[in-house]
């Protein structure tokens, strides 16, 4: 098994600049093996639906406890395909958090359904279960839409409150899905992300905890029959022989080369998480009184897909970013506005807005988080943040 400390030594970044994310350092560790598996795909020539797809799906199922895994073309397709499989569409309400990447809302609208935005818990940044209940009740009372589904998002890598969310979904008979684009590698207790909800979709975008060298995604299913339908949908809705269209589908397949690369990256994934976690613990030790950081709850394991906290105000965030920049330390903002404020989604904004989403968008700040940060790097970042009064 790869040692987590050895990864940094092998990456050759110990004396380099601090990067927000560092795919180059990772590539330094795995380049020879990546070159070899790409050559293997070139040799066998099965660029679509090659044997590496089946191998990757089996390995992801083994790691997560999912009954079956379906590789697909992107994290967005990993949300769209299950919604299509459930027949969710016009007139249906899908409840999603208002503070996340736009792909979650786009997936709902792509199938013709209506997103109903839910505020976030101001501490975890994940969907607020109390406001979710209120939005379901309001939708039922309104009579214009039929509640059909909940999509929870594991923002920044922290799993949402799946025990409570499962009870809400069961109470109302709703299809329940996890948007785990940022949380592969996380867990609640002994249950990894991928098995926390009946359906989970993740992204293999290059910057994710497990990322390929292009676009890619996967759907984790606790139901084999559903997974069989999704496999058809991702392949234009055809039967196993690819001759007859059994249902409406899309071109949503994962490329063989990307699957081969992901299999290589899985070999160092656990060691990379150890390094992410070590960096996170330094951040928590030093910055908990300076930034509003999500609580570390017993039993909840974050993937540390991103590391974000709340500045005291928008002006405070600007001062921190400016000072970090002067020290050549990168930072970022995820996200600058709630989904309900975006032009494309503003027609679905709830009355009264989403106060916690709106507050978070003015104060949220992401610091560097990747497996190739040295302890010295993280301390330098913390020093710079703490220098801002």
Q: How far apart are CA 314 and CA 306, in angstroms?
A: 20
Q: How far is CA 92 from the centre of its chain?
A: 24
User: Among residues 220, 138, 215, which one has the least CA distance to residue 179?
Assistant: 220
pLDDT digits (tens, 9 = 90+) for 54-99: 999 999 999 999 999 999 999 999 999 999 999 999 999 999 999 9
pLDDT digits (tens, 9 = 90+) for 175-217: 999 999 999 999 999 999 999 999 999 999 999 999 999 999 9
Q: How far apart are CA 331 and CA 370, in angstroms?
A: 13
Tell me what percent of the residues of the chain surpass a pLDDT of 90: 95
Task: Write the DSSP string, 70-84.
Answer: EEES-TTHHHHHHHH
- All residues at 6 or more sequence positions from 260 whose CB lies less than 8 Å from its CB, including other chains: 37, 38, 40, 41, 50, 52
Res 49 pLDDT > 70:
yes
Per-residue b or e along 308-322, where b marks 16 or more CB atoms closer than 10 Å to that residue's CB: bbbbeeeebbeebbe
Mean pLDDT value across the chain:
97
**What local confidence, expressed as pLDDT, does residue 13 receive?**
76
Structure tokens at 158: 């922290």
Q: Which domains does the chain have, with CATH numbers?
A: 40-266 (3.40.640.10), 269-386 (3.90.1150.10)
Question: How would you classify the pairing of strands 307-310 and 364-367?
Answer: antiparallel
Structure tokens at 101: 């990447």
Res 42 pLDDT > 80:
yes
Structure tokens at 215: 């676009």
Structure tokens at 346: 């503003």
* Contact (Cβ atoms closer than 8 angstroms) between residue 170 and residue 197: no
* Sheet-wide strand order for 175-179: 68-72, 217-221, 199-203, 175-179, 146-153, 92-97, 114-118
Structure tokens at 304: 């540390």
Structure tokens at 174: 């709703």
Beta bridge partners of 251: 235
Q: How far is CA 231 from CA 72, 77, 300, 326, 341, in A?
A: 9, 12, 31, 50, 35
- When pLDDT is cut at 50, 70 and 90, the band that residue 1 belongs to is low
Beta bridge partners of 146: 92
pLDDT digits (tens, 9 = 90+) for 206-247: 999 999 999 999 999 999 999 999 999 999 999 988 899 999
Q: How far apart are CA 161 and CA 118, in angstroms?
A: 14
Helix and strand numbers, DSSP H then E, in the chain = 13, 12
- All residues at 6 or more sequence positions from 361 whose CB lies less than 8 Å from its CB, including other chains: 99, 335, 336, 337, 338, 341
Indicate the pTM of the whole model.
Answer: 0.96
């Amino acid at each position: 098994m790869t040692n987590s400390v050895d990864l940094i030594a092998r990456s050759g970044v110990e004396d380099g600049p601090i990067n927000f994310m560092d795919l180059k350092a990772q590539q330094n560790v795995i380049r020879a093996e990546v070159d070899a598996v790409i050559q293997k795909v070139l040799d066998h020539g099965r660029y679509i639906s090659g044997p590496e797809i089946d191998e990757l799906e089996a390995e992801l199922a083994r790691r997560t406890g999912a009954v079956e895994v379906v590789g697909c073309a992107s994290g967005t397709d990993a949300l769209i395909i299950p919604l299509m499989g459930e027949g969710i569409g016009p007139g249906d309400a899908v409840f999603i958090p208002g503070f996340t990447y736009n792909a979650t809302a786009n997936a709902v609208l792509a199938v013709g359904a209506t997103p109903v935005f839910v505020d976030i818990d101001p501490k975890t940044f994940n969907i607020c279960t109390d406001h979710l209940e209120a939005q379901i009740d309001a939708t039922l009372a309104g009579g214009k839409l039929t509640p059909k589904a909940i999509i929870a998002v594991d923002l920044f890598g922290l799993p949402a409150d799946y025990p409570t969310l499962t009870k809400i979904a069961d109470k109302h008979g709703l299809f329940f899905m996890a948007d785990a684009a940022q949380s592969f590698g996380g867990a609640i207790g002994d249950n990894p992300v991928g098995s926390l909800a009946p359906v989970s979709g993740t992204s293999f975008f290059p910057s994710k905890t497990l990322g390929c060298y292009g676009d890619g995604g996967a759907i984790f299913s606790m139901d084999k029959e559903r997974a069989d339908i999704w496999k058809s949908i991702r392949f234009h809705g055809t039967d196993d022989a690819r001759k007859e269209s059994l249902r409406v589908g899309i071109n949503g397949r994962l490329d063989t080369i990307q699957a081969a690369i992901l299999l290589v990256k899985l070999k160092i994934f656990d060691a990379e998480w150890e390094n992410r976690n070590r960096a996170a613990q330094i951040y928590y030790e030093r910055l908990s009184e300076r930034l509003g950081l999500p609580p570390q709850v017993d039993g909840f394991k974050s993937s540390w897909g991103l590391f974000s906290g709340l500045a005291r105000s928008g002006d405070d965030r600007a001062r921190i970013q400016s000072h970090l920049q002067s020290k050549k330390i990168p930072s970022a903002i995820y996200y600058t506005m709630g989904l309900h404020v975006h032009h494309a989604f503003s027609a679905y904004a709830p009355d009264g807005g989403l106060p916690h989403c709106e507050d978070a968008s003015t104060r949220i700040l992401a610091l560097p988080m990747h497996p190739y940060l040295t302890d010295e790097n993280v301390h330098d970042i913390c020093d710079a943040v703490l220098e801002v009064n």
